[in-house]
Structure 1
Amino acid sequence: MKLVPLGDRVVLKQVEAEETTKSGIVLPGAAKEKPQQAEVIAVGPGTEEVKMEVAVGDKVIYSKYAGTEVKLGEDEYIVVKQNDILAIVK
C-alpha cells in the first residue's frame, strides 16, 4: 500500500526519538518526547491558492499537535497540511 496525499497535504515519517540525552543519560520509553522532526515521504499536488514548497526527502520540523497519525503495516506516518510545517532542515 502507498499513501498519496491530496491537495496541500504532506505525508511525513518521524525520525527516531533520542534514547540518550547529550550528557549520556538513557531515557526510558515513557520519558522520551516525540520528535517534531520528520522526513517527507509524499507531497500532494497543491491547490490553486497553495504552491507546494517541500519535496520528497526533505527533513522538516512540524507543529507539535499537527496532523493525523496513520499506520500502514508496521510503518507509522503523519499526514499534515503544508502550513503545519514550520521549517525545512538543511
Structure 2
Amino acid sequence: MPPTTDPVSVTRTFCGALFFPVIAMNTGTLLFGGVPSQLKRTFLGGVTFVVVKGVLKIYHKQHTYIRQSQRIIMNFQEENQTYSATLTPRGSR
C-alpha cells in the first residue's frame, strides 16, 4: 500500500499558489462569462477548479487502490519451508 500522504515539495506548492489565480480567472471567464462582475467570475472559477480537481484526485486514488488490491504474485515458489514454519503462530499449525 502506498503511504496515505504524499510528500510535496516547497517549489511545487509555491508554483501552484502562483498559478491558481490565473487558472481561476481563466476558468471563470470560460465557464461563467455571463456574470457581470470579474471578481465573482474569478471566485466561481476558483471554486469550480478546486472541486473538479478534488473529484479527479479521489477518482484516481480509488482506481489506484482497486488496481493495487487486485494484484497477485505469480510464479511464487517457497524455497525455505523451515523459515515460513517458524513465522506461523503456534495455534495455527
Superposition TM-score tier, normalisation by shorter sequence: under 0.3
Based on CA coordinates, which of the two structures has the bigger radius of gyration?
Answer: 2
**Normalising by the residue count of structure 2, what TM-score does the alignment of the two structures yield?**
0.21
Point out which structure has higher relative CO (alpha carbons under 8 A, 6+ apart).
1
